[in-house]
Chain A
């Protein structure tokens, strides 16, 4: 008898529907409206690489030790340097970081002894060409500038 009543009044269905409707309450909505609403990125997030500069004089922190290039599993970092005849230290000339092959494992960041190379919270890495994914020193120091679209 009870089973018949359950069937007639669609109890099972209503139970299931109740779960669905319950989660439609505005405070239960979890969808992020991405381009309008920026997601909160964790502090340790491994995103676009950045080459830090000294904020005081704008000089690079990189000491051209090449450790990041050695640590990289994909060998996608190329450090170009020149020996400065006066200071006898290596001067950084170029720094290329091929993000098209990067898997953001963070090993380069771990290897850096002076915290010059860092993976930042920037995550908008799309570009129109493959070449656009290869970051040179300028992009690395200034950070990526994704195009802002107005909707």
Chain B
């Protein structure tokens, strides 16, 4: 008996689907040797709502609110991607003012999404304070959304061909005030975390994914940039007039969890920079392009992708000439990024697994759709 007792055996452990650090309903089956992770397998689909099927049964206009629910943390980005894809099919372009407002709102949303990520990621690691601070600043972005379009999370801010709402009085002022307020706050978060010894020990060299692996696994967004690839769709294939704004793509070399944290912190600063430029150069003019009331794109297909906070968010829409999309495929960044979890987690410790899941910045609504 003593022999078998001392024999080290592998342990298969279920993490989730209801685990606070899996950010939703992700279930990870972990194979462990003591504390060491030998392999992981993700079980997803608990939040599957069949968004792509819903799209086939709704008109183009009606489907727009549903895309907000795919990635509910970055609803504005989702709406933008969908509207751009339908606009591509219709071959129209939103007017300059609409584009600038779209840029402002998506960048605010990017900040909000990164803030929520930072707060929860820090919470996973064990630092509670940043969560409250991040939520506090995120509230300002949500307030701007609420005043602009009437909803905080599932905004439905954009319409096909432009915008539904003109900016409210004081929109520009509030956006600029947010930028002024926000930049010192990022320094504050960094003060709490960047040099923090516990934070560094928990993150540096954890969950390394190098550039070649990133490309092989199709990983995009901050994860790819943390591995040293200077690639951002806003620069590579600009949409919505991003080529007019002056901003940098932050990159790091190692591709570990700490680098992803640094990249996202820098990205928030860059987003604030874009917002400032967009607000200061906000052109006057109409906010909707000429689109028919009943949207009926010609037969065809288009793939349009944007840089969502989590990575490349693509919409592939096939039109058969009717008012409803024949097929609407969402290329979710979280789903594809999550696939690299096994690669990153193999050989790490269980506690690191929590950090790694947090660093992917997944939203299960988007993984499962």
Distance in angstroms between the alpha carbons of A45 and B69 in the assembled complex: 18
Asked if A16 contacts B168 (CB within 8 A), the reply is no
Q: Select one of A23, A30, A41, A105 contacting B65, CB under 8 A.
A: A105
Chain B residues near A125 (CB, 8 Å)? none
Chain B residues near A119 (CB, 8 Å)? 150
Distance in angstroms between the alpha carbons of A30 and B142 in the assembled complex: 14
Asked if B63 contacts A73 (CB within 8 A), the reply is yes
Distance in angstroms between the alpha carbons of A25 and B338 in the assembled complex: 41
Distance in angstroms between the alpha carbons of A71 and B159 in the assembled complex: 14
Q: Select one of B62, B156, B168 contacting A106, CB under 8 A.
A: B156
What is the CB-to-nearest-CB distance from B60 to chain A, in angstroms, rounded to a whole number? 11
| A87 CB-CB contact with B under 8 Å | no
Q: Select one of A19, A45, A110 contacting B188, CB under 8 A.
A: A19
Count of chain A to chain B residue pairs whose CB atoms are closer than 8 Å in the complex: 60
Distance in angstroms between the alpha carbons of A1 and B148 in the assembled complex: 55
What is the CB-to-nearest-CB distance from B65 to chain A, in angstroms, rounded to a whole number? 3
Chain B positions near chain A (C-beta within 8 angstroms): 58, 61-66, 69, 129, 133, 136, 139, 143, 146-151, 154, 156, 164-165, 168, 188, 191-192, 195-197
Distance in angstroms between the alpha carbons of A17 and B62 in the assembled complex: 50
Give a binary string over A59-89; 1 marks a CB under 8 Å from any B CB, 0 the rest: 0000000000001110000000000000000
| A37 CB-CB contact with B under 8 Å | no
Asked if B133 contacts A23 (CB within 8 A), the reply is yes
Chain A residues near B129 (CB, 8 Å)? 19-20
Asked if B168 contacts A44 (CB within 8 A), the reply is yes
Chain B residues near A16 (CB, 8 Å)? 191-192, 196
Asked if A103 contacts B191 (CB within 8 A), the reply is no
A–B complex contacts, Cβ < 8 Å, 17 sampled: A12-B196, A15-B191, A16-B196, A19-B191, A19-B192, A20-B129, A30-B136, A45-B150, A71-B62, A72-B62, A73-B62, A73-B63, A103-B69, A105-B156, A106-B156, A107-B61, A107-B62
